[in-house]
A and B are shown apart, each in its own frame.
Chain A
């Protein structure tokens, strides 16, 4: 089983839909992350969970709702999104709970398009 998996890989949704993105890590890591990657913009950190507790919420609109039921799984629940939310959503995990040299392992991402 590869390290960090994300489903679905592609998602098209309308502005009134509710959908969820799923991330799973098989590395025994303690921390999990959601990032947003838009064209020509740097990766933006959205949320961080450490030992299943949210430790970082980077001023993300409430239409994005994360959930971390255990240290291996991370969800991002989406509702009433806007077209500008279309982006690649990346999940990552790391072993240690923070630190400058802590290595993050990324999943392949979910390409989200909001119509």
Chain B
């Protein structure tokens, strides 16, 4: 069974700082998704990466998929209080329904 390990588990930073969170596995991902979950809500998809070495940008968020497709990172530039939330990575087997989630990184951005 593929496991996704996320680090750090918890991160508290000041507004304006940069940060990076990581998602790692011992297995190769067919694709990887990043979600953000705000308190009292369900996860919302941010991005899907499918190609090794791929980099995707979403405003101040930069997502990178490792060349070997075993790891991924999410970098946030100049964090804002609205970035506060639980960041989850997830992977799903090709053609299947079962999505595996990491335990998440809980980010708190202080004003």
Contacts and interface: CB of A to CB of B under 8 A. Distances in A.
A43 interface: yes
Nearest to B102: A42
A104 B90 CA distance: 11
Contact of B98 (A40, A56, A92, A101): A56
Contacts of B41: 106, 108-109
Of B45, B97, B98, most A-chain CB atoms within 10 Å: B97
Contact of B103 (A42, A50, A92): A42
Q: Give the one of B88, B91, B98, B102 with max A CB within 10 A.
A: B98
A84 B70 CA distance: 33
Given A43-B88, A106-B42, A99 B99 contact: no
Interface residues of A, number: 29
B97 A103 contact: no
Contacts of B100: 42
Interface in A87-115: 90-92, 97-109
Interface string B32-69: 01000000111111001010000000000000000000
A100 B97 contact: no
Interface in B58-111: 88, 90-104
B42 A90 contact: yes
A24 to B, nearest CB: 14
Interface of B: 4, 9, 30-31, 33, 40-45, 48, 50, 88, 90-104
Interface of A: 4, 31, 33, 40-43, 45, 48, 50, 55-56, 58, 90-92, 97-109
